[in-house]
Amino acid sequence: MDSVENLGGDKNSKVAPIKSDSDKLRILITDDSRLLRKKLRDELEKLGCEVMEAANGKEAITIDLEHEPDGIILDIVMPEVGGIEALRVIREVSPDVPIVMLSSAGTPQKLMQTLKMGAIDFIQKPYTKEQIARAIEAIRRTRAKNLQKAAEAAKISAPDESEEVK
């Protein structure tokens, strides 16, 4: 994607084309380690996810705005824009997208800070396959709740078709 490369990030960051398969979760992986992104991509694809990648928080913000992923896995320590700043910006523009923080630099203070900012989970590196599977299930549940709330809100705000408009 041209705009990702223009951000000065990793030219190997990838944005997968959006598919119409509504059962597949579209997950954005954000980490400055190309190796970790590849490993995590493989795990997520085994779990049936469609995967997008960003090498830093700046790329993550752009991809979130352009592709509206169903969930984001976000490292904390990255060049240009770190994970905590990216979380803050993404929360402003996409308040309902489920975000899981992933970091080797985990401290209780950072954990509490990201959870207060709206992250749904925090995974310490090195992670296990089971932790990733649980995180994807949490993203799936959060997404389902958000879709249900949106459907209920649409029902409430839609005019009753049985009422005659005068």
Answer yes or no: is 166 within a domain: no
- pLDDT value for 4: 36
- In this prediction the pTM is 0.81
Whole-number average pLDDT of the chain: 85
Query: Per-residue DSSP letters for 35-68?
Result: HHHHHHHHHHHHTT-EEEEESSHHHHHHHHHHH-
Tell me which residue has tokens 């994807």: 136
pLDDT digits (tens, 9 = 90+) for 116-132: 999 999 999 999 999 99
Looking at the predicted structure, is the pLDDT value of residue 10 above 90? no
Number of domains forming the structure of the chain: 1
Task: Flag the least confident range among 74-78, 91-95, 101-105.
Answer: 101-105
Distance CA 63, CA 129 (A): 25
Is the residue at 164 inside a domain?
no
Q: Regarding predicted confidence, which is higher, 159 or 125?
A: 125
Question: Which residue range is the domain that position 122 belongs to?
Answer: 2-156
162 found inside a domain: no
Q: Residue 107: give its domain's CATH number.
A: 3.40.50.2300
Structure tokens at 122: 């925090």
Q: What's residue 11's pLDDT? A: 46
Structure tokens at 68: 């509206």
Domain-located, residue 142 = yes
How does pLDDT run across 35-82, given as a tens digit for each residue?
999 999 999 999 999 999 999 999 999 999 999 999 999 999 999 999
